[in-house]
Structure 1
Amino acid sequence: MIPLQLSLKNFLSYREATLDFRGLHTACVCGPNGSGKSSLLEAIAWSLWGQSRASSEDDIIHLGAKEAQVDFTFQSHQQIYRVIRTRSRGQASSLEFQVAIAGLNAGSVTPTFRPLTERGMRATQQLILDHLKLDYETFVNSAYLRQGRADEFMLKRPSERKQILADLLKLDQYDELAEQSKDLSRQAKGQIDLLERSLESIQEQLQQREAIAQEQAVLETDLVAMQATQTANQEQLQQLQAMQHQRRTWEQQLTWQQQQQRSLNQDYRRLQQDLASAQHQEQELAALLGQEEAIAAGYAQFQSLQVQEEEQSAKFQAHQSAQTQRQRLQQQQAQQIGEIKDQLRHLEAQLEALRQQEQDVQHTLNKAAEVETAMERLQQARARLTELDQLQTQVAPLLQRQHQLQSQIERAQDRLTARLEELRTTVRQLQAQQARQPKLQQAALEVAEQIEHLEKRQVYQQRVREKGLERRSFLERLQVHQRDYEAQLAELENKVQLLQQPNAACPLCDRPLDKHHWQLVQQKNEAEHQEIIDQLWVVREQLAVSDREIHVLRQEYRDLDRELAGHKGLLERRGQLQEQLQVSLEMQEKLQQVLAEQEKLQQALSTGYYATELQEELTALEQSLQQLNYDDRNHALAKGEAERWRWAEIKQAEIKQAQRRQANLAARQPELEAQIAAIQQQLEQQQTDSPLQQSINALDQAIAEIDYNLDHHNALRTQVRQAQAWQFRYQSLCQAQQQYPQVQQRIAELSELLEVRSQHLQQATTQLEQLIQQLEQMADPAEQIRSLEQQIQQQQAQLNGQLARLGRLQQQQQHLETLQVQAEAQQQQLQTARRQYRVYHELSQAFGKNGIQALMIENVLPQLEAETNQILARLSANQLHVQFVTQRAGRGKGTKASSRLIDTLDILIADIRGTRPYETYSGGEAFRVNFAIRLALAKLLAQRSGTALQMLIVDEGFGTQDSEGCDRLIAAINAIASDFSCILTVTHMPHFKEAFQARIEVHKTESGSQLHLSL
């Protein structure tokens, strides 16, 4: 990806800005902290992937704005693309993806774009990833070198470096697959164990099938006999139960008759009680009716008192209403009088304020003469200040240019000084390398002698191997002979066994043998048997000798293999030494060139002969400034003088304002006095002759006419309460007049009903005696029934037990048949589970750390090592070399080396003095190694994503580097500049940014961050 143009609108700290990357190869993004440098990188990431450092989507919108937009144009895979991402506050984002129609030629003019936007944002985002072939994680780990990540890989322990590399290569997906495979493997293992235990249990149960069938036949015979006995007992029980049923029917009738008799007795007694109660009520009502005249007189007096009390209540309501209305009118009158008094106080306060303002205005007018004199001095000071301002306008551009020229001259001097220091460092390094050349030659001779010795041993090892193969081939032939002899012996033994049988036949012609021929055949077989045994013993002895020789040759081959284990390392060491010797010869010529350039720079710095055009222009500017004779101090004094007399201008305006206020006050005072007199007259009228006062007087007269007396009203209320008892007695008298005929009628009805109940009671007694006589004549069969039922229950229990046992046996038979089918199915499941267990177990190992992941890391490391050494050769002038070691020998007990190899990721760094640990290298050398490895990792990640690494952003925390460290970083960036189309460095350090000709300067203003491109 190569950036072409970036346009921002209301994004983070930017209001509106446009940055054109065309023509920028190596540039520095510089500015103070918080100015918005990182926001440019955030804008690129947000436009392409929708990722930013903001916690929410709306946080990327500039404060006070409603919408943010980023328009990013870039080149990728020989094509120009454009991405426009927009975010509205509180709403969803929008995304547009376009491609230039004119191809690469569109970079010279405004290109025409064709839309590629899909229907949804997710589909459009995926289309961008497909064309870019770079996701966000790969971008921040490859094209973007963040602060503090350069030496992260080196400072980790060797056992942790593989994990970091696996994280960068996104191998965690294989860990997930390995865990899934392990889970499935454990599930399959658990299923296997469960199926095996289930099959064992099923086989044990299936062995009981024959015994269960025999037991079932015996049970069926016993059940037939028990069921016949049970049927006979049931018939006898039914006869006895019929007799018992008839007896219980008579008993139930007897019980019902007894209950009927008790009910009739209770009803007869209740009727007697009701008759007595009705007769008593008749007597009470007759006595109440005898007091009718006295009750009527008392009730009439109660009604008269009640009418008088109602009249007094009406007068009370009218009196209360008039009093309430009078109080309301008095409140309204008091409120109006209060409002008039408030107006009077307000007008009096205004009149007093006018008099006080008149005094203040007069005091201001008394200073008019003094202010006039000061105004003349102010005009003189301003005339002098105007002259100096015009002179400053002429001098300011000259001073600004003078400052620029001085800064440029100082930067030129700093660049020469930095270059001189770099050359001195290079001279010291080259001289140190030249001093190590004899040691390198001696080391190269020693390594060559060791390699020659090992090559001879390698030829001898090949001979041992050929001899071992020859003995192995001879051993295999002997084993074939041994098997042949053993087969012949078996055949002879078979023939001998056939001859031992009666009437044995000839093994050749198949005819019966007589005794003489039988002996001849037997002797021949014995001789042939002895001959084969002798040959077999010879072969076995040769096999033992050959096996011992092969064992000796194997041990000698292993010893030679261990001795030759360092041959590859020696070859690499010889190559390194030869390369270092070649570099040493090249460094000798470079040393002469560096010394010449160093002498030239020293002379230029000592004589000041550099940036001559800038120095000449600076001298001419200084002469022009002397002619203008401008002094900042005089200008400052003139400004102070004009500011000192500026109070006169303010006082003059105050005097004019005071004159206008005096005229207004003189016109306002008579008007206020007239208003105060009118308010006082209105207050007196309100208190004596107003409509409210007249209404209050009318209400006082109405209250007097009502003539309400509270004591007389309370006395009437007491008399009404005392006479209220006659009302209750009158109501009782009315009720008695209504109830007396009804009570007489009820007495007659109760007398008749009592006679009927007496007749029914005699009938019930007669029926009861008949039922008792019938029950005494029939015997109770309950004891026989209980005995027979217990016998039937015992037989039924036995029968149920036998039936349950038979059911269990039948259920067991069905269960065994089901188990047979289940065993066959589980056997197939067991085979499937075992196959799945083997597959998932192998997959878990293949996806694990020592499987595909280790293989991928092993395949990546050579590429990473080659890329690192290629970059490091440029940064160190072929003085440093890096090697990645993935395995090393373990340690046994004590200090003895173990034959077991340990997985690791050691990083060996070699220079012309040999291989040393990383910690022993200087800061500059360590930084070059860190930078080379980090950059190689970036290129590797970009290549694995399917794209080329054309853009590089370096943000390595330059503030932690000293001047020499910054110079080394600048040299490193310049050394790799040819590998990239665009390199951006981000810093706030002035010394670092001056080293780049192209600078993107960022500064923050009140209207947002601003960009300025300097080429």
Structure 2
Amino acid sequence: MIPLQLTLKNFLSYREATLDFQGLHTACICGANGAGKSSLLEAIAWCLWGQSRAVTEDSLIHAGMRDMRVNFTFQKDDRTYRAIRSRHAGQSSTLEFQIQAESGFRPLTERGMRATQQLINQHLKLDYETFVNSAYLRQGRADEFMLKRPTERKEVLASLLHLDQYEALAEQAKERSREFKGQVDLLTYNWKTLQSQVESQATHATEIANLESAIADLNASQDIARQQLQSWQALRLEQQAQQQQLEWHRTQQHNLTQDYQRGLAEYQSALGRQQEVENLLTQESAIAQAYSQFQYLQSTEESLSQKFAAHTQVQSQLRLLRDTQSEQIQELTNHLNLSLAQLESLNEQAVENQQILSRQPEIEAGCEQLRSARDRLVQLDRLQLQASTLLQRRNQLQSQIDRSQARLAARLEELLATHQQLQASTEQGLSLQQAAAEVTDQIRQLENKRVYQQRVLEKGQERRHFMERLQADQRNYELQLGEILQKLQMLQTQVPELEVQEFPPCPLCDRPLDEHHWNLVLLKHQTKQQEIQDQLWVLREQLVTSEREIQILRSKYRELERELSQLTPALEKRGQLQAHLSVTGEMSQRLQQLSVEAAQIERSLNSGEYALDLQAELQAIDAELQALGYDEKDHALVRGQVDRWRWAEIKQAEIKSIQKRQAQILAQRPEIEAQIHQLQRRLEQLQTSSQLHRQIEALEQQLAELNYSLDEHNQVRSALRQAQSAQLRYQQLQQAKQQYPQLQQTAQELAVRLEVRQQELNNYTQKTQELQQKLLQNPDAVSQIQTLEQQIHHRREQLDEQLAKLGRLQQQQQYLETRQTQLEQLKVQLATSKRQYRVYQELAQAFGKNGLQSLMIENVLPQLEAETNAVLSRLSANQLHVQFVTQKAGRSSKGKIIETLDILIADARGTRPYETYSGGEAFRINFSIRLALAKLLAQRAGTSLQMLIVDEGFGTQDQEGCDRLVAAINAIAPDFACILTITHMPYFKEAFQARIEVTKNSEGSQIVIL
């Protein structure tokens, strides 16, 4: 992938920015920390793969904006492509993928975003993880691989090579093997249980035959008793029919008695009503006179109500006019008060303005002082402009001289410290050898304990998985047991009564159910309930045992973990001791060289003989500044005078504004006074002679003419309410005249009806007595029926017990036959599970770290070593050489081979571990290995590494190291189409001809190509 153009909109710190990569081969992206250098490369990764260092995509949007967009144009295999990814806050992203044709860019975008992303990965032959581990050397990641322990480096390398998929396969295979191991154990246990149950099958046949004979005898006796019961029940039915007839006659007799009593009450009520009507007719004259008085009061009240309505209307109009008058008076009063306040305010402003105008001479003098100070300030600004260039160069020279002195002092301090360390190390040579042997023996013991700890962990995991399977089986059995208990409850709540001949339908399937099948169903569910309870007891015992084993393994694991905490310090101590021992032989010569170099540096620092050309240029600049005669203190004093007299300029502008305001006040005062006089005249007219005042007086005269009295009206209303009863009495009189003939006729009809009811009642009383005498003559069959039913019930209980026992035996016989079939099936399943268990055990070993993963790493390391040494030779002038060691012999007498990934570095003094090198040398080694890994990952992805991005800190490098690093980048430049280096060091900025300057201001980050 070769970048051509990157366009950003509202991405991180950028608002609008475009970066054109065409013509850039090796370039440096420079700028201050936080300016947005790394954001350019984050934009490329987000545009192509939709991934970045941010937690959420919305956090990539520029602060205060709602959307963002990134366009990235690149070249791959002589074809030009363009990817466009955009996002609106709170919504999903959109992705477009295009290819350049003769007529412009042609879309390749698929229907879905995931399909489009897969298409981009196919064309690039890179995914995001491969990109950040190959083409993009991200900041702070150079030494990630090197800082790991030797045993952990293989894990990091496996992760970079995407070998973790084999680890996942190994875990899956282990899981499946544990599952099949559990199945084998469970099937073995079940096979033994079935084998013991099937052996008892032959003893059930004799018991079943004996029970069938006893059941036949009980059925014959039961048939004889039922025939006798039927004859007595027929006689009982005849007696019940006669009893029902007697009860019907008694009911009829009771109903006729109640009808007769109701008719008698109605006849007496009719006579009473007839008497009341006759009494009302005798009072006809008095009722008519009271009704006439009621009509007179009603007409008088209607006349007074009309006057009340007119009085109310006039009062409402009068109240409305008075409210309107009050509102107009209030409005005029408010306007008058506002005008008076304006006049008072104008008078106060005129007095204040006059006071300020009295200071005009003082302000003019201050303006003259301000003009003089400003002239002096302009003169000093010109001198400062001339001196600023010299001062800036002087500061640069002084900084460079100070850095030279600091480098020499640091080098001297480093030499002295190294001299002391070498001298102390030489004296401790013999004690170091004994300490190294002791540490090596301690490490060997701890390594053995770590292997044992891993076995304890695997055993605990196996027990945990076995417990999870047992818990799942326990939940299933408990669920089945609950269902069986519910079914048993349903069966037992529908047990038939003794006198019923047929059982109700089955509560489970709704089919007809007799006694025999009901007992079979009940026995089947009870047997199954017992079996599940037995299984639950076994599972609970296994769970308790497994929990105890896990507790023991957990305590053992924690104990080993505490002991293994000493392994890392021991390994570090061994590496330090070996590093000291490896350089003990060269100490004398190195000490002499350090002494000579330290003496030279100390003489230079004491005499000041360093950076002589810079010191000479500094003296010349000091002479020029002295001749120029610029003084920063005078400049600051003049600035203070300008600030101090600036008040006069402000006051002068204020006086001009006040003069205009004073003229306006003098012009406004007569207008406001005239307005006040007019408002006072209008207010007086509204209160005495306005049209509204005349309307109010007319309405008051109209109220006097109505002469309405509320007390008189209330007295008439009270008298009218008291006379309401006269109207009611008059209406009752009219109704009585109409009802009197009808009441006479009703009383006569009720008397005739009473005579008919009395005759019917006498007839039913005679028939009831005849039926009672007939029932007393028949014999009672109830005692005989009860005796026979008790005998039948007792035989039925015996029969039920025998049938239940027979059903249990038959069901057990069927169950054992089923168990025989299951036993054969279990043999086949057990053989299959054992075979699968062995297969997945072998797969787990093959996919594990010591299988395919280890083999693939062994195949990759020679290529990685060759690529690393090719780069490292350029960075170290062929002084350093890297070697990867994957196996080493153990310390034990058996000579066991230990898997590791040690990094040995060979230089002019010999071969030693990576951990013994200083910061600058370690960085060169890190960079070489990281670049070799990048090439290796790109080749494994099926693409060539045409673009390299180095986002690393180079602060650990001295000037010589930086020169070699720049030379190495230039040396590998022919292998890449584009190399981008991110740094903020000034020396690196000057080392590249093409620079991309990134700055940040209030408008966001900006890009300039130099």
Is TM-score (shorter-chain normalized) higher than 0.5? yes
Whether contact under 8 Å (2:405, 2:610) holds in the other structure is no
Q: Indicate the residue corresponding to 2:513 in structure 1.
A: none
The answer to whether the 8 A contact 1:117-1:124 is kept is yes
User: Cα distance 1:916–1:763, how it changes in 2: closer, same or farther (>3 A)?
Assistant: same
Report the count of equivalent residues.
841
Q: Which amino acid aligns with 2:971?
A: S
Change (3 A) 1:942 1:424: farther
Matched, 1:978 2:971: yes
2:711 counterpart residue number? 711
Asked if the contact 1:188–1:837 (Cα under 8 Å) also holds between the matched residues in 2, the reply is: yes
Q: Is the 8 A contact 1:885 1:907 kept in 2?
A: no
Q: Does 1:761 align with 2:772?
A: no
Aligned-partner Cα distance in 2 for 1:966–1:305? 128
The code of the aligned residue for 1:788 comes to: L
In 2, Cα distance between equivalents of 1:22 and 1:165? 35
Please state how far the C-alpha of 1:338 moved relative to its aligned partner: 1.8
What does 1:441-840 correspond to in 2, within 5 Å?
A: 664-727=664-727, 729-730=729-730, 733=733, 736-737=736-737, 740-799=740-799, 819=819, 822-840=822-840
Partner Cα separation in structure 2 for residue 948 and residue 419 of structure 1? 45
- Answering whether residue 852 of structure 2 is matched by residue 878 of structure 1, we say no
**1:335 CA displacement:** 1.3
Once the two structures are overlaid, the 10-residue window that deviates more, 212-221 or 395-404, is 395-404
Deviation of the 1:686 alpha carbon? 0.7
Q: Name the CA shift for 1:694/1:844 in 2 (closer, same or farther; >3 Å).
A: farther
The one-letter code matched in structure 2 to 1:1010 is Q
Deviations 1:84-103 (A, max 9, x none): 3344556654434345679x
Contact 1:85 1:94 in 2 (8 A): yes
Q: How does 1:257-268 map to 2 (within 5 A)?
A: 257-268=249-260
Aligned to 2:233: 241
| TM-score, scaled to structure 1 | 0.69
> Within 2, Cα distance between the matches of 1:114 and 1:878?
52
Matched residue type, 2:942:
G
CA contact (8 A) 2:401 2:611 kept: no
User: In structure 2, do the counterparts of structure 1 residues 414 and 21 end up closer, same or farther at CA, with 3 Å as the change threshold?
Assistant: farther
Q: Residue 322 of structure 1: which of 314, 317, 329 is its match?
A: 314
Q: Please state whether the residue corresponding to 2:780 is helix, strand or coil.
A: coil
> What secondary structure, in the 3-state scheme, does the structure 2 residue paired with 1:6 have?
strand
> Which 5+ residue runs of structure 2 have no aligned equivalent?
426-578
Match of 2:544 in 1: none
TM-align CA RMSD: 5.3
Q: Does 1:127 align with 2:119?
A: yes
Q: What are the within-5 Å matches in structure 2 for residues 417-436 of structure 1?
A: none
How far apart are residue 687 of structure 1 and its match? 0.9
Q: Separation in 1 of the partners of 2:284 and 2:895? A: 138
Distance 1:747 1:183 in 2: 105
> Relative to 1, partners in 2 of residues 1:810 and 1:376: Cα closer, same or farther, differing over 3 Å?
closer
What SS class does the counterpart of residue 141 from structure 2 fall into? coil
Deviation string 1:465-506 (CA, Å, 9 cap, x unpaired) is: xxxxxxxxxxxxxxxxxxxxxxxxxxxxxxxxxxxxxxxxxx
When residues 420 and 775 of structure 1 are mapped into structure 2, their CA distance, relative to the original with a 3 A threshold, is closer
Residue 256 of structure 1 corresponds to 248
Contact between 1:890 and 1:902, CA under 8 Å: does it hold in 2? no
Unaligned runs of 5+ in 1: 103-110, 437-576, 892-896
Q: 1:823 to 1:288 in 2, by over 3 A?
A: farther
Alpha-carbon distance between aligned partners in 2 of 1:192 and 1:738, rounded to the nearest angstrom: 108
On the 8 A contact 1:868/1:882 being kept in 2, the answer is: no
Residues 1:294 and 1:217: Cα distance change in structure 2 (over 3 Å): same
1:750 is aligned with what amino acid? L
DSSP-derived class of the 1:708 partner = coil
Q: Which residue of 1 aligns with 2:71?
A: 71
The Cα of 1:421 is off from its aligned counterpart by 9.8
Closer/same/farther in 2, CA of residues 303 and 900 from structure 1, 3 Å limit: farther
Q: Name the residue aligned to 1:95.
A: 95
Q: Structure 1 pair 970/700, CA: closer, same or farther in 2 (3 Å)?
A: farther
- 1:305 is aligned to 297
Q: CA deviation at 1:336?
A: 0.8
- SS of equivalent residue, structure 2 residue 51: coil
Q: Structure 2 vs 1, CA of residues 169 and 219 (structure 1 numbering), >3 Å: closer, same or farther?
A: same
Which segment drifts farther, 941-950 or 412-421? 412-421
Answer yes or no: is the 8 Å Cα contact 2:886–2:899 preserved in 1.
no
State the 1:136 CA deviation. 1.9
The yes-or-no answer on 1:333 pairing with 2:351 is no
Shift in CA distance, 899/310, structure 1 to aligned 2, threshold 3 Å: farther
Query: What is the CA-CA distance between 1:250 and the residue it aligns to?
Result: 1.2
Whether 2:997 is the aligned partner of 1:1004: answer no
Give the deviation of 1:649 after TM superposition: 6.6
Deviates more, 1:68-77 or 1:624-633: 624-633
In the alignment, the residues of structure 2 paired with residue 856 and residue 793 of structure 1 have an alpha-carbon distance, to the nearest angstrom, of 86
Q: CA deviation at 1:693?
A: 1.0
Task: State the match for 1:271 in structure 2.
Answer: 263
The offset of 1:685, in angstroms, is 0.9
SS in 1 for 2:890: strand
Matches of 2:676 and 2:258, distance apart in 1? 106
Rounded to whole Å, the distance in 2 between the matches of 1:827 and 1:837 is 15
* Aligned with 1:293 (options 279, 285, 288): 285
Note the C-alpha offset of 1:706: 2.3
CA contact (8 A) 2:865 2:882 kept: no
Letter in 2 for 1:338: Q
Shift of 1:757: 2.4
Structure-2 change in CA distance of 1:320 and 1:100 (3 Å): closer
Residue 692 of structure 1, CA deviation: 1.6
| Partner Cα separation in structure 2 for residue 334 and residue 266 of structure 1 | 83
Structure-2 residue corresponding to 1:539: none
Q: Secondary structure of the equivalent of 1:255?
A: helix
Greater Rg, structure 1 or structure 2?
A: 1
Partner SS state of residue 774, structure 1: helix
Equivalence for 1:944: 940
User: CA 1:119/1:262 → structure 2, altered by over 3 Å: closer, same or farther?
Assistant: closer
Aligned pairs for 1:906-925 within 5 A: 907=903, 920-925=916-921
Distance 2:655 2:803 in 1: 131
Cα 1:291/1:357, change in 2 over 3 Å: same
- Structure 2 residue aligned with 1:13: 13
- 1:978 partner amino acid: A
Give the Å deviation of 1:1008.
2.5
Q: Deviations over 1:33-70 (max 9, x none)?
A: 33222222222222222223445445434456565433
Which residue is 2:890 aligned to? 889
Query: For the residues of structure 2 that align with 1:416 and 1:6, how far apart are their CA atoms?
Result: 44
Pair 874,385 (structure 1): closer, same or farther in 2 beyond 3 Å? closer
Q: 1:202 to 1:299 in 2, by over 3 A?
A: farther
2-side partners of 1:315 and 1:857: how far apart? 118
Q: Deviation of residue 635 (structure 1)?
A: 8.1
How far, CA to CA, are the matches of 1:414 and 1:972 in structure 2? 21
TM-score with structure 2 length normalisation? 0.69
Q: Deviations over 1:148-192 (max 9, x none)?
A: 434444444455444444443444433433343344334434444
**Is contact 1:67-1:89 (8 Å) kept?**
yes
Whole-angstrom CA distance in 1 between matches of 2:340 and 2:623: 76
**Quick one: structure 1 residues 785 and 345, their matched pair in 2 at CA, closer, same or farther if it must change by over 3 Å?**
closer
Contact kept? 1:873, 1:881, Cα under 8 Å: no
Distance in 2 between residues matched to 1:997 and 1:415, nearest whole Å: 26
> Which residue identity does 1:124 align to in structure 2?
T
Residues 74 and 736 of structure 1: CA distance in aligned 2, closer, same or farther (over 3 Å):
same
Does the CA-based 8 Å contact 2:350-2:665 persist in structure 1?
yes
Please state if 1:1013 is matched with 2:1005. no
Of all paired residues, the percent bearing the same amino acid is 53
Partners of 1:978 and 1:20 lie apart in 2 by: 24
Q: For residues 743 and 403 of structure 1, do their structure 2 counterparts lie closer, same or farther at Cα, with a shift above 3 Å needed?
A: same
- Once residues 750 and 135 of structure 1 are traced to their aligned partners in structure 2, the CA distance between those partners, rounded to angstroms, is 111
**What amino acid does structure 1 have at the position aligned with 2:767?**
Q
Which residue identity does 1:235 align to in structure 2? Q
Deviation digits for residues 837-885 of structure 1, max 9, x if unmatched?
Answer: 3333333343344444444445445555555555555545435655444
How many angstroms apart in 2 are the aligned matches of 1:284 and 1:890? 135
Contact 1:13 1:62 in 2 (8 A): yes
